[in-house]
Amino acid sequence: MTVGIAFEKYHGLGNDYLVVDDRPGLAFGPEVVRRICDRSLGVGSDGVLLCKRDERGSSGSFGLRILNPDGSEAEKSGNGLRIVARYLFDRGEVGDAPFPVQTPGGEVVCRVLDAGRAVRVEMGQVSFGELRETLTVDGETLTFSSASIGNPHCVVLRDTLKEEDILRFGPLLENAPRFPNRTNVQFAQVLDRSRLAIEIWERGAGHTLASGSSSCAAAAVAHRLGLCDAAVTVVMRGGELAVEIGPDDSVVQQGPVVHVASGVFHEEALVSP
């Protein structure tokens, strides 16, 4: 890796990412990603966003790769998409008109609002697997719903949410044989017809304060089961995200983005013990 790779750090409801311009010759292997995301040995983040230009898409020139802190790659990230949209806005590459971004999980449409303080993302359609499936982990049988919004999700509905439950079951469900490519996990509690609370275990990242795609998947599952309306506020440890579900199961999420810092990765940090 070349000395002096610039990055920008943003967070969406406490879900923090480092944004880097993806260009020829830039090497971000798993070991490099793990070191950079380490909160003691690196900069610290829930992942790295590689922003690409001239990406193939129906009408856009921006692409996004999402690298998890364990070095793996995600297909889609709701908070990551809001962050990269704000990044492009801050650089003057987009304005307040909608624009597409291509991800490995499909093309989405972003729109920056309120001078960059909020971003709206059309995330695409949710596809549902079994809505009432059971799986026994750590001696307990859980009922879950599987869904995908370009990346996989396992939604477990609970009467009450406890952090200890997501910490116990999250890694077991993520790596369960039922999910050969691993999965994102949400424990969800319906508060009323317009509010849903979730605890999150992200594939490749672990327990996070917020997740945009998790919010969309959990809301879509609750709506499909008749437990909430089409417009839902999803409550997470990091804050609240607005989710809208269309008649065709397309989902839109809208929430804040905060610019945290600008910096440079140094080679010394990547090779030191």
53-67 pLDDT, tens digit per residue, is 875 544 558 999 999
CA-nearest of 261, 262, 269, 205 to 1 is 269
Other CB atoms within 10 Å distance of the CB of residue 138? 9
In this predicted structure, what is the pLDDT of residue 266? 87
Fold of 5-115+257-271: Diaminopimelate Epimerase; Chain A, domain 1 (3.10.310)
Q: How far apart are CA 43 and CA 256, in angstroms?
A: 22
- H/E element, 111: strand 106-113
State residue 1's pLDDT score: 44
How large is the greatest C-alpha to C-alpha distance in the chain, in angstroms?
54
pLDDT at 255: 98
Phi/psi of residue 185, each to 5°?
A: -125, 135
Give the C-alpha separation, 216 to 121, whole Å.
11
> Residues 246, 209: contact at Cβ < 8 Å?
no
Low-confidence ranges of the chain (pLDDT < 70): 1-3, 55-60, 271-273
| Cβ pair 146, 178 in contact under 8 A | no
Which residue type occupies 2? Answer: T
Measure the CA–CA gap between 100 and 98, rounded to whole angstroms: 7
CA dist., res. 106 & res. 125, Å (int): 10
Tokens 């009922």 correspond to 143
Residue 162: other Cβ atoms inside 10 A: 12
pLDDT score for 2: 47
Strand, coil or helix: 81: helix
Cβ atoms of residues 28 and 20 within 8 Å: yes
In this prediction, residue 55 carries a pLDDT of 56
> Which helix (H) or strand (E) segment is 222 a member of?
helix 212-224
CB 82 within 8 A of CB 18: no
Contact present, 197 and 161 (Cβ < 8 Å) = yes
- Written as six digits, the tokens of 273 are 């013990």
Radius of gyration over every alpha carbon of the chain, rounded to an integer in angstroms:
18
**pLDDT value of residue 37:** 95
DSSP 187-221: EEEEEETTEEEEEEEETTTEE-S--HHHHHHHHHH
Domain 127-256 has CATH 3.10.310.10: yes
The candidate with the shortest Cα–Cα distance to 112, out of 128, 97, 92, is 97
CA–CA distance, 153 with 229 (Å, rounded to integer): 20
Read off the pLDDT of residues 214-257 as tens digits, 9 standing for 90 and up: 999 999 999 999 999 999 999 999 999 999 999 999 999 999 99
Give ranges for CATH 3.10.310.10 in the chain.
Answer: 5-115+257-271, 127-256
